[in-house]
Each structure stands twice: as structure tokens, then as C-alpha cells.
Amino acid sequence: MPPADPWILFDIDGTLVDSGRLIVRVWRQVAAEFDADAEAILAECHGRRDAEIVPMFFRPPDVPAVLARIQELEAAGGDLLSPVPGALELLTSLAPERWAAVTSGPSGLMTGRLRAAGLPIPAVLVAADHVRHGKPDPEGYLAAARALGAAPEACVVVEDAPAGIAAGVRAGMFVAALTTTHTADRLTGADVVLDRLSDLRDIGAAAPAARE
């Protein structure tokens, strides 16, 4: 069952910020420029750090240039960002010390995305440049719980991608998955799957899926 009066740890892309159009545009453009398979990249990139994805699909000599190009394109794409429906209302209803964000993007970029979407910046934000190991490793979620002074079992992770779900599960936290990026059949391992972020308010009444 979900913890009573939990601390809530949110992913950002696809969970709080609708960045889907930007992500697709960026990866399609860099794939075209550097002769890579955009569809294969898009099947794997959500919820994972660029530094881990790029070496999987691009020639080793191109990796530094690809990473720099991604940053350039992402920084220029603020017009394609918007809040996930219900995100602002939910975040402003939470006490600042009861929630955090854990993201696979760099901290500067992700605070910029939150601002562009009109969302508050959390007091605790654990980003790609704050951890040694990205999702699906649990390091980021465990670091956020420590910063909030919360036990892992008292936290609810809100995610939209398989890598993030795996990270939350490995951290020993209750995981709520949103179908904002993937269909429900891709969100295996989550305790509960939600169609809308606003449904998180009713999570206590949800029947979580049993883990193996």
C-alpha cells in the first residue's frame, strides 16, 4: 500500500513538464545531422541521461559534438514546453518540504524547463550532474529522500518511463507511473498506473499491483 502522508518525488520530463515535442525534435535533428537511427533512440531515451544514451547510438568520435548539439537545441526549445495538466495545481498544494524532483537532465536545463512551463522550482532537485549513476540506478531517488529527511519507504515516486520506474523500485519506494509518455503495458514494475497527474490525489484509494 502507498505510505500515509508521503513525501513525493517527481520526475520532470513527461511527469511535470510536457517536453515530448521538444525531445522528439531534438533527437530527430541530431540523428539526421550525425547519421543515427532516430526511432531507435526515441524508443530508449526517455528518463535516461544523454551521456548514457548518446554512446549507444552514435559513433565514438561524434559523442562530444552530439552532446553539445543536444544542449544547444534543448536550450532553444522553450517554446515547445508546457506543464503537464494538473501539475501546477498539485505542486502548489504541497508543502515545499514534502516534495522534490529527480531528473535525468542537467540541473540548469531542468530548472529552465520548470520555469518555462510556469512551475515552481523545488527546494530539493537532484539532477544528472548531482549523481554518479543515472536512472535506472536508485541513487537520485535515495539522495532526494535523504535531503528531505524521509525514509525511502515513506516516499512515493511519480514517473513516466521504464528507467525511472526501475529506479524507484530499486530505491524501495512506492511507484506511481503516468501514461503521459508510454502506454500502460510499458510501465511494468510500478505499484499503480495513472492516466492523469491529478489522479495522484486519490492514490491512497488505489489498489497497487503486487510486485514479484
d(CA 194, CA 15): 11
Which of the residues 5, 13, 185, 202 is marked catalytic? 13
Place of cell 501539475: 87
- 5 in catalytic set: no
Task: Please confirm, yes or no, whether 195 is among the known catalytic residues.
Answer: no
5, 11, 185, 195: which is the annotated catalytic residue?
11
Contact 144, 126 (CB under 8 A): yes
Q: How far is CA 6 from CA 10, 51, 200, in A?
A: 12, 32, 11
DSSP 145-164: HHHHT--GGGEEEEESSHHH
Q: Tell me, what amino acid is at 36?
A: A
CB atoms within 10 A of CB 79: 9
Nearest one of 200, 12, 26, 42 to 116, comparing CA atoms: 12
Phi then psi for 174, rounded to 5 degrees?
A: -70, 135
Catalytic residues: 11, 13
